[in-house]
Structure 1
Amino acid sequence: MNWKIIRMLLPLVGVTIFVYIINSTGLGNIVDEVAKIPPLYLAGVVILSFPRVAVSTYKWRYIAKLQKMRMPYTYMLKVNFVGTFGGVVTPLGLGDFIRVPLIQKKSSERFAKCLANWLIDQAIEIFSLFLLAIVGTISLSLYFPEHRGLFIPVVTMFLILLFIALLFIENRRGKLLLGVISKLILPEKYKNWLNDHLDAFYDEMPRVRSLLFPFSVEVFMYSFMFFQIYLIANVLGIKTPLPWFILLYAIASLIGQIPVTVSGLGTREGALIGLFSLFNVQPHQIVAVSLVGYVVTMLVPAVTGAVLSFTLSNHKVKKRS
């Protein structure tokens, strides 16, 4: 089967799981749970999403400054919202890639350097989620030994990704490895093009140590996002302790990153049902929390990004040869 067809069909796996979960838990039960949330309370939780994106933008701009990329904070804030919109409608959030050409338009930097900026930010996000998920799987292993099987695959994947990231983030080693790869798979006419862009990609590449601060900020922001969702769960009578809620939600969110769905729908809810059953949370309750949490933390910022995308089209393009 053609890979393009497979890639198009993969999200249907998550959608199928999602439909099955909705059907098995009962749409009416989920709607009844959502209806219990006071509108003003929900509005307050929604408002918290905006300072969260603002702090996330500060973290992203900090990375850009490490690379000596200068852009106004307000512009990057708009781009961050737009990236959220692109991310929620694509598997693995790859639509967030729209940030790369948008920051190239505003800055005087080359595309490869802007790409490096985006990849660093994305890596920090996924490693932050991994950290919370690893702590979660360790906690499960200690307190619920029947679930210790989650620890090994989560840690193994984390170590593989960390090894790859450390291989390529260092300038000389990264160039050497990519050079070897290019010799093996690239036609001759593209090798000079790659070498030229590698110089731009590694231009002012931050040291790993300098990324500890933005990494810490991202861990906090993920925890804050899960706290927003906890507020929704709490008003619905779900009394899971906050530390457990954050850690279990991190595990489910990581599972939701598996590229067989869009925005984690289906795979995330399936994981949440299994994990929160440990605290006697009913399936329809946690599904309601997941859906409202998704709207609050992702969909509202995404809609904001869709609106702001029209304001970015007027910025002039600056290119660097």
Structure 2
Amino acid sequence: MKWATIKKYLPLIGIGLFIYLLVRLDVAKVFQEFNSIKWDYIAISLVFVAIFFILQTLKWFVIARKQKINVPFGEAFKINLIANFYGFVTPGKIGTIIRTDYLKRKGTETGKGLSNFVIDKIMDICSLFALVAIFGFLRYKKLIPDSYLYLMIGIFAVIILLFLVFYKKENSRFFLRIIYRRFIPNRLKEKSRVLFNSFYEDLPSLPFLSFVFLINIITWIMNYVIIYLVGLSLGINVKFIYFLMILPVATLVAQIPITINGFGTRELTMIGLFGILEVSAVKVFSMSIFSIIITNIIPCIIAIIILLLDKKNEIHNIKTSG
């Protein structure tokens, strides 16, 4: 079987795992947990969801400003919602790259939009690794094996090293020269050159990226506060510090592209780690599902409405101009 075919069906692994967990834990019991939800915690969590999306937009918006990409924050917020919708339905949230296309429609060169996405994504992943390392070494209870932590730190170091090397245009030009000369068709060489140059145009300084890194850390913690509140609403009375030890690990596992939006792999990891704290698998699974509804499905519905309205306006403008 060809690798392309295998990749096509890889996301089904996580979906199958998610369905297996749902059936194994008993769907009826999961819905029983929903019936006992304390809605005051959910109301508070919705406020944090709004703050989370503002921060999530801010972290790539400030990069865009440094790159001289002139997009209003309100428009950036809308683009972020739409990008999250596409990310929700694709493995590894790769669909969020649609943001590049929206920035192009606003007059941004493809290379600049692409570098904005890449920097944001790398800062996202690096901050996640940092959280795993920071909270993983806390010894309230030995939840995370040392071998796993050292592996994560090693991967984190490699990502940082590669980022620092390729962040310099000259280094990238040196390493990519062979690919450019041997594998890029002549008809695409000029486009590739323009794309490469625009990718490195107006890149933010490394000290500035440390500020973006901090915003990413805060954004992740905000996301985990939301899940913590959902957990409280379901009667999961575990200290927040344990959420900060467990959830970054589950989030990293969810990045493995064998599922869509981490379905299955995230839940399995959370059930295993929260199980050490004697939290029932049904409660953990219910917490995960309800968190997805709040942080993903509701924003996705809003994004779909925005897309439909944009399409309606586009059709109206075509008819008017015609």
TM, length-normalised to structure 2: 0.91
- 2:138 match: secondary structure: helix
How big is each residue's C-alpha offset from its partner over 1:48-72, in whole Å with a ceiling of 9 and x where there is no partner? 2122111221222110111111111
Between 1:149-158 and 1:270-279, the stretch displaced more is: 149-158
2:13, 2:161 → 1: CA distance? Answer: 30
How big is each residue's C-alpha offset from its partner over 1:80-109, in whole Å with a ceiling of 9 and x where there is no partner? 000010000000001111111101111x32
Alignment of 1:43-192 (within 5 A): 43-106=43-106, 108-139=107-138, 143-144=141-142, 147-192=145-190
Corresponding position of 1:25: 25
1:17, 1:149 → 2: CA distance? Answer: 25
Amino acid at match of 1:222: W
Alignment of 1:276-315 (within 5 A): 276-313=274-311
Percent of aligned positions that are identical: 26
Task: Say whether residues 1:267 and 2:265 are aligned partners.
Answer: yes
User: In the alignment, is the contact (CA less than 8 A) between 2:85 and 2:299 conserved in 1?
Assistant: yes
Task: Say whether residues 1:12 and 2:12 are aligned partners.
Answer: yes
Q: Decide which of 217, 220, 228 is 2:218's aligned counterpart.
A: 220
How big is each residue's C-alpha offset from its partner over 1:233-261, in whole Å with a ceiling of 9 and x where there is no partner? 11222122112212211111110111000
How big is each residue's C-alpha offset from its partner over 1:94-138, in whole Å with a ceiling of 9 and x where there is no partner? 1111111101111x3211111111111111111111111222332
Q: Decide which of 250, 253, 261 is 1:252's aligned counterpart.
A: 250
Shift of 1:184: 4.3
2:230, 2:26 → 1: CA distance? Answer: 20
2:254, 2:204 → 1: CA distance? Answer: 29
User: In the alignment, is the contact (CA less than 8 A) between 1:171 and 1:205 conserved in 2?
Assistant: no
2:244, 2:34 → 1: CA distance? Answer: 21
Corresponding position of 1:234: 232
Amino acid at match of 1:79: I
User: In the alignment, is the contact (CA less than 8 A) between 2:250 and 2:269 conserved in 1?
Assistant: yes
Q: How well do the aligned residues superpose, as a CA RMSD in angstroms?
A: 2.0
2:89, 2:6 → 1: CA distance? Answer: 18
Amino acid at match of 1:99: R
Shift of 1:188: 4.0
1:176, 1:221 → 2: CA distance? Answer: 35
1:145, 1:250 → 2: CA distance? Answer: 12
1:289, 1:199 → 2: CA distance? Answer: 46
1:148, 1:27 → 2: CA distance? Answer: 35
Name the CA shift for 1:152/1:281 in 2 (closer, same or farther; >3 Å). same
1:132, 1:30 → 2: CA distance? Answer: 30
Shift of 1:224: 0.8
Name the CA shift for 1:171/1:223 in 2 (closer, same or farther; >3 Å). same
User: In the alignment, is the contact (CA less than 8 A) between 2:17 and 2:264 conserved in 1?
Assistant: yes
User: In the alignment, is the contact (CA less than 8 A) between 2:42 and 2:229 conserved in 1?
Assistant: no
The total of aligned residue pairs comes to 314
2:110, 2:242 → 1: CA distance? Answer: 41
- 1:280 match: secondary structure: coil
Shift of 1:176: 2.1
Amino acid at match of 1:139: L
Amino acid at match of 1:263: N
- 2:145 match: secondary structure: helix
* 5+ residue gaps, structure 1: 317-321
2:162, 2:187 → 1: CA distance? Answer: 27
Between 1:295-304 and 1:215-224, the stretch displaced more is: 295-304
1:16, 1:58 → 2: CA distance? Answer: 35
- 2:153 match: secondary structure: helix
Shift of 1:4: 2.8
2:62, 2:177 → 1: CA distance? Answer: 30
Shift of 1:272: 0.4
Between 1:273-282 and 1:49-58, the stretch displaced more is: 49-58
